[in-house]
Amino acid sequence: MKKYRVGILGATGTVGQRFVQLLQGHPQFEIAALAASERSVGKTYAEACAWKLTGDIPENVSGLEVQPIEPPLDCDIVFSGLPSKVAREAEAAFARAGYPVVTNSSCYRMDEDIPLLIPEINADHLGLIPIQQEKRGFGTGFIVTNPNCAICSFAPPLAALHRKFGVEAVMVTTMQSISGAGYPGVSAMDIADNVLPYIAGEEPKVETEAQKILGSFTGQAVEKADFVVSAQCFRVDVIDGHTVSVRVKLAKPSTLEDVIEAMREFPTLDLYSSPEHFIEVLEEPSRPQPRLDRDRGNGMTVTVGRLFPDNIFDYRFVGLSHNTVRGAAGATILNAELLISKGLI
């Protein structure tokens, strides 16, 4: 099988390191180029990167020379883990130069002509690509994005409910892990014996992205789903895994059994990184827990627990996903696998 040659933007960062880790042994991709900010350019990846994942830097990349974040890069597809500030310009430059850009950055997520994808939910939003290419003059290049990490802990079960029963309102309170802030990210002095009630810019993202993801592609545009989301976002002293407390108001009545079934039967995909179960619903009273459940499905399964009728809205539950896998690097890779399966790269 032909392997696509991948260039990674922001290769030395938290998401970039996960790309490198998750692409080891991947049957469809091989890492061909690494790009990072100026102070890394010209160094080998091993020299430039403060590797923070378990084990050593994989041998096949440790000696690669870090390139600047600009086209051309010697690769077939670009994966981006760039911070938003630099992503907007750099990713457009790559798209304009003809590269497919799959990105974890937040800057393009809410642009009307950019697909914001969770492949199991809204693969048809890929229909935006030709519209985007025409509007932005991208030629054969394009940009697709994946959602904010916190979204991934509740949008999948929400999609299951939305599809079956309709959703009117969602209240979420997130307990997000420290890896979500990158490295060095959160100071140990801020999080030890503590909870932080504020993550800059997070609540608006959580309150707007789900409606686009669960929206309908009309052939011309994505019509957003018309429920409203209220989000309060917290940082807790957990390394990986965002836990979300959710109450949801449905458009039509449903039994608890139907709700559980809607989640459990939500189909997964036949892509390499797709987990066997997209959504797992646990019935043990004290699950999901980030340390015990974040790695289900190699970090790509979304886990739901404590699913009960609520006494204000219809149902309450707790959602959990691995924020740097399902919520970041793994999501981007899954998007790339989807593009291949649809013949778009």
Among the listed residues 24, 39, 42, 52, the single contact to its own copies using CB under 8 A: 52
Q: How many CB atoms lie within 10 A of CB 339?
A: 23
Nearer to its own copies, 269 or 292 (CB): 292
Under the binding rule (CB under 8 A), the answer on residue 340 touching its own copies is: no
Token pair 């009728």 in the structure block, residue: 309
Q: CA 222 to CA 213: how far, in whole Å? A: 9
195 binds its own copies (CB under 8 A): yes
Least distance from its own copies to the Cβ atom of residue 262, Å: 20
Q: Is 242 an annotated catalytic residue?
A: yes
137, 230, 256, 267: residue in contact with its own copies (rule CB under 8 A): 230
Give the C-alpha separation, 18 to 330, whole Å.
Answer: 8
Our answer to whether residue 322 is catalytic in this structure is: no
Q: What is the DSSP letter of 147?
A: -
Minimum Å gap between C-beta 188 and its own copies is: 4
Tokens of 242: 């965002």
Q: What single-letter DSSP state applies at residue 196?
A: B
Among 86, 237, 268, 277, binds its own copies (CB under 8 A): 237
CA distance from start to end of the chain = 14
Among residues 239, 270, 240, 298, which one has the least CA distance to residue 280?
298
Please choose, out of 108-116, 119-127, 262-270, 306-314, the segment that lies near its own copies by the rule CB under 8 A.
306-314
- State the nearest-atom distance from the C-beta of 9 to its own copies, in Å: 21
Distance (Å, rounded) from C-alpha 154 to C-alpha 245? 9
Binding site for its own copies (CB under 8 A): 14, 52-55, 169, 171, 173, 175, 178-179, 183-198, 207, 228-230, 232, 234, 236-239, 243, 245, 247, 285-296, 305-306, 310-313, 316, 318
